[in-house]
A = this chain, B = another copy of it.
Amino acid sequence: MSAAELRVVGVRGLPELRAGDDLPRLLLAALAGIGEQLCDGDVVVIAQKAVSKVEGREVELADVRPRPEAVEIAGSDGDPRHVELILRESRRIVRRRGRLLVCETRHGLVCASAGVDRSNASGPDRAILLPIDPDASARGLREAFAREARTAVVITDSFGRPFRRGTSGVAIGCAGLQALQVLTGRHDSAGRVLQHTAIHLADQIAAAAELVMGAIGGIPAALVRGLEWEPGDAGITATLMASERDLFR
């Protein structure tokens, strides 16, 4: 299940992306520009913002009319239009401290601000929303790459977590590989049967890719090469913990 060695290659050279751009074509061109081509078994990792931009998931804040609750949460320092977008993208506020909102998004992801973010947007008064269905976005990209090679696709974002400072790359969409690698029933090195053991492979891929992609927005994609993975189509949605099983909701 695990390779002895893998490479994580940042894909530089993508142009500034716009709604309607052919992301797979641009990505293949950028790969060629760094002397690479897709190979069978590659995992193509793409930053959420790249996917959201080509899918037209950017919003001009001037077009947003905030509800009274958004005005209240924004207070005197915040932007009620930004808060309004966060409320629209959420099915539930999980925690709130002042203007900090930890939300359950319509997809079931739990993250700060429902993933609505102004950094790396196309202009100073624009905000980027998460894709409507990141697993579907990943499937579409994978199908487009299928002419070149049998790949898997992971769409990443950077989320803060409880208990620890700072963000880490997480997978918000996935296609082609089994995101959750279940080891229950297998034996450890001492012959003991593993219980309740499952590794979130896609999250680990996302974190590895973020090491080369960084947060500054210059490198919106990466290849992970040399990793063994099992085919699967359940996506990330299937790996989100049901709210009623979650000790922290």
**A227 engages B211 (CB within 8 Å):** yes
**A→B interface (CB under 8 Å):** 1-10, 12, 16, 34, 95, 97, 100, 102, 109-110, 118-124, 158, 161-170, 180-181, 183, 186-192, 194, 197-201, 203-208, 210-219, 224, 227, 239-241, 246-249
7 smallest CB-CB distances across A and B, nearest first, come from A166-B200, A207-B207, A208-B208, A2-B214, A162-B248, A189-B217, A110-B163
**B158 engages A199 (CB within 8 Å):** yes
In the docked arrangement, what's the CA distance between A190 and B216, Å? 10
Most buried by B among A8, A163, A197, A241: A163
**A216 engages B203 (CB within 8 Å):** no
**A210 engages B204 (CB within 8 Å):** yes
Known: A205-B211, A210-B199. A192 touches B249 (CB 8 A): no
In the docked arrangement, what's the CA distance between A169 and B204, Å? 7
**A189 engages B248 (CB within 8 Å):** no
In the docked arrangement, what's the CA distance between A170 and B3, Å? 19
* Beyond A120-B190, A164-B239, 13 additional pairs, beta carbon < 8 A: A1-B216, A4-B12, A4-B212, A5-B7, A5-B9, A121-B190, A158-B199, A162-B249, A165-B240, A166-B181, A167-B200, A188-B217, A207-B208
Contacts of A240 in B (CB 8 A): 163-165
Q: In the complex, what's the smallest C-beta–C-beta distance from A34 to chain B, in angstroms?
A: 8
Contacts of A241 in B (CB 8 A): 162-165
Known: A7-B7, A216-B186. A201 touches B211 (CB 8 A): yes
Contacts of A123 in B (CB 8 A): 190
Instruction: Name which residue of chain B comes closest to A227, CB basis.
Output: B211
**A118 engages B192 (CB within 8 Å):** yes
Contacts of A206 in B (CB 8 A): 207
**A203 engages B3 (CB within 8 Å):** no
Q: In the complex, what's the smallest C-beta–C-beta distance from A208 to chain B, in angstroms?
A: 4
Known: A102-B247, A247-B97. A215 touches B199 (CB 8 A): yes
Instruction: Name which residue of chain B comes closest to A187, CB basis.
Output: B216
